[in-house]
Chain A
Amino acid sequence: MTRAAVLRDFQDRFREDILDFFDKSPKRAYFEINPDALVPAATYIFRDLGARFHIASGVDARTHLEILYHFSIETMNLLISLRVKLDRENPKVDSLANVIKGANWIEREIHELLGIDFPGHPELRRLLLADEWPEGVYPLRQDYQEWDKKAVRDRGV
C-alpha cells in the first residue's frame, strides 16, 4: 500500500472517531482521535499495518492533558501520531499494555508523572519516582509546585 492509501484507509475505518487530521509532511501525520477509540485504532495500526510503537508522550496543555502515541510504518518511512485529549479533572484512557507489551512501562511513567489513569493496565505501580514522593503530586503538570523544602534546587539560567 502507498502512504496515501494507508492514511485514507485508516480514515475510512475510524471515520466517526477521528476528530482532526494534520498531514504535516511526507514523513509525519497526526490524527486526533476520540479516547474511547484509542485501543481499536492503535491495535489496527500495530497489528494490521505492522507498525512499530515508538513511545507515548504526555503533555500538559494547561486547558487539557494530551497523550500522543507515536507509531511508525518502517517500510514507507511514515510516522503516525495518535493524539488523545483528556479532561484535566479526571484524566483517563484505556490501557494499551495488553495489546502492546512495549506500552507497559510508558503508561506507568505517564501515570506517575502526569497523573493520568489507565484502566485495564496489569500493574500500574510507580516506575521512576521515589517511594517517599507524595501521592497526587505530578511533576510534569504545569501547576507543579516544589514540595520538598530540602531539595537541591535547579536555579535556572
Chain B
Amino acid sequence: MQKSVISIGPFHPLQEEPEHFSLTVEGETVVDVDVEIGYNHRGIEKLSERRNFEQSTFVIERICGICSTSHPFAYTRAVEDIIPVEAPERAKYIRTIIAEGERVHSHLLWMGLAGHFLGYNTVWMWVWRLREEILDVMEILSGNRNSYAMFKPGGVRRDINPDDIPMALKKIDAIIPTMDRLKKAILDDPVLHARLKGIGILSKEEAINYCALGPTSRASGVDRDVRKNAPYGAYDRVDWDMIVTQKGDVFDKVVVRVLETYESIKIIKTCLQQLPSGEIDLKLKSIPPGEGIGAAEAPRGETFHYVRSDGTNRPVRHKVRAPTFMNLPTCKATVPGSTISDAAIILASIDPCYCCTERMAVCTPGGERIYTGKDLIKMSQDKTEKIKREMGIK
C-alpha cells in the first residue's frame, strides 16, 4: 500500500512547546512516527551559567509555565546537594504544599485539554472552572496564581501566613465534591471507555527501556515515583499512595492522573494541618566547589538537575532534564498501529508540553493538502461522535 507522510506542527497556540511530528501512514493507519523538537530552544543551561545561584532560580522557574515549581525544586535540591545540607523542616513542608498544588492544577489542565481533543467540551470548561479554585488557593498561600517564586537554595523565600491556612483549607474542602462528580463523569463514561481503552499501549518493558517517567510509566505498571523512591520535602512525613495501573493505554493514563489529583489534595491538606514552626531559610553564604544532583517529581514525571560549582558564585555547568525529554520518544512505541484520529490523543496522553496541531499537510504524489489543527481535533471529535451513535447515546 502507498505510504504518505503527514506532518503535524510545529506551532500551536493551545499548548506551549512547539514540536513537529511526522506521521508515516498507510491509509488510515500510522506505521511510523518521527519527532522533531528544538523550535523553542532558549539555551537556558547556558544562560544559567551566567547567573549566580540565586538568580538561576528565577531563570529556571521560567522553563515551564505549567510546572513552574518542579524545576526550582530540583535545582535548589541540587545546589543543597553540593554542600550537602537539607532545607529546614518548615521550608520542606512549604515546598511540598506548593509542588502539590501545582500538580493538581496541572493534571486538571491536562484533563480539560484531553476532553477538548475528544469532543467533550463540557468536561473541558468544567475542569478548567475547577482549576480556578485551586489557583485561588495557591494565590492565598503564595501570593501568585502561577510562577510562585517561593524557592531559593537553602529554603523558601516567603513564609505561609498562619492566618491564611483556615481559608485555604476551606477552599480545598469545597473542591472535593466537584472532583467526585468529575471523577464519576470521566471514569464511568461508557463512550470514553470505548474511545480510550486499548489505544496507545505502552508495555512495561518499553516503559523501562525508554526510561519513561511519571504518569506515563505508572500507567504501564512501573512503580516509579521520586516522591516514594527517593523521598524529599515532606513526602516521607505524610501518608499518601502511589497510583499505579497496569494496562498502559490512554485510559489508564487518565485514571492515574484523576486519582493522583486526590492524593495531592490529601498531601496539601495534611501538610497545611501539620505545618511545623521554625526557620524557613538556611541563609547559605557561599557554595563550595563540587557537584550536586537534584530530582523532583513534576506533574509529568521526574525533573532532573545536575549542577557543578567551582567555588565562585555561579554554576559552571547546569544540566536540566525535563520529563517530556524522556516521555516523548515513547511515541515511537505507542503511535504506530493506531489510526490518525487516535494519534492526537495518544500524543497528548503523555501530557507533553505539546503544541503541534496547528498545521497538517498530507503529502501525496498529486500535491499537498493542508489541514489546520482544528481539522485534526475535529477528526478526533468525530470519532467520539461515531462511537456515541453506535452505542445509541445522544
Contacts and interface: CB of A to CB of B under 8 A. Distances in A.
B317 interface: yes
Interface stretch (A10-18, A35-43, A54-62, A85-93): A54-62
A81 B295 CA distance: 14
Given A57-B319, A74-B229, A28 B325 contact: no
B369 interface: no
Interface residues of A, number: 37
A105 B316 CA distance: 23
Contacts of A74: 224, 229-230
B329 A54 contact: no
Given A55-B304, A157-B55, A100 B211 contact: yes
Nearest to A154: B47
A2 interface: no
B306 interface: yes
Nearest to A75: B229
A156 B50 contact: yes
Interface residues of chain B: helix, strand, loop or mixed (majority): mixed
A101 B206 CA distance: 9
A77 B50 contact: no
Contacts of B304: 54-55, 70
Contacts of B38: 126-130
A25 B206 CA distance: 32
B317 A57 contact: yes
Interface string A63-87: 0000010101011010101000000
A52 interface: yes
Interface string B38-53: 1001010111001110
Contacts of B325: 55, 105-106
Interface string B203-214: 000101111100
Interface string B328-339: 010000000000
B92 interface: no
> Which of B46, B211, B212, B321 is the most central at the interface, judged by chain A CB atoms within 10 Å of its CB?
B211
Given A28-B293, A53-B211, A77 B43 contact: no
A27 interface: yes
Nearest to A77: B230
B37 interface: yes
A139 interface: yes
Interface string A12-32: 000000000000110110100
Given A126-B38, A157-B52, 20 more contacts: A25-B81, A28-B293, A54-B211, A54-B295, A54-B304, A54-B321, A57-B306, A72-B229, A72-B230, A74-B230, A77-B231, A100-B209, A101-B209, A102-B329, A127-B37, A128-B38, A128-B41, A139-B46, A156-B50, A157-B51
28 contacts: A24-B84, A30-B291, A52-B208, A53-B211, A54-B302, A55-B306, A55-B319, A55-B321, A60-B317, A68-B306, A70-B304, A70-B306, A72-B229, A74-B230, A77-B230, A101-B211, A102-B212, A104-B329, A106-B321, A126-B38, A127-B37, A127-B38, A128-B38, A129-B38, A129-B41, A139-B46, A140-B45, A157-B55
Interface of B: 37-38, 41, 43, 45-47, 50-52, 55, 81, 84, 206, 208-212, 224, 229-231, 291, 293, 295, 302, 304, 306, 308, 316-317, 319, 321, 325-326, 329
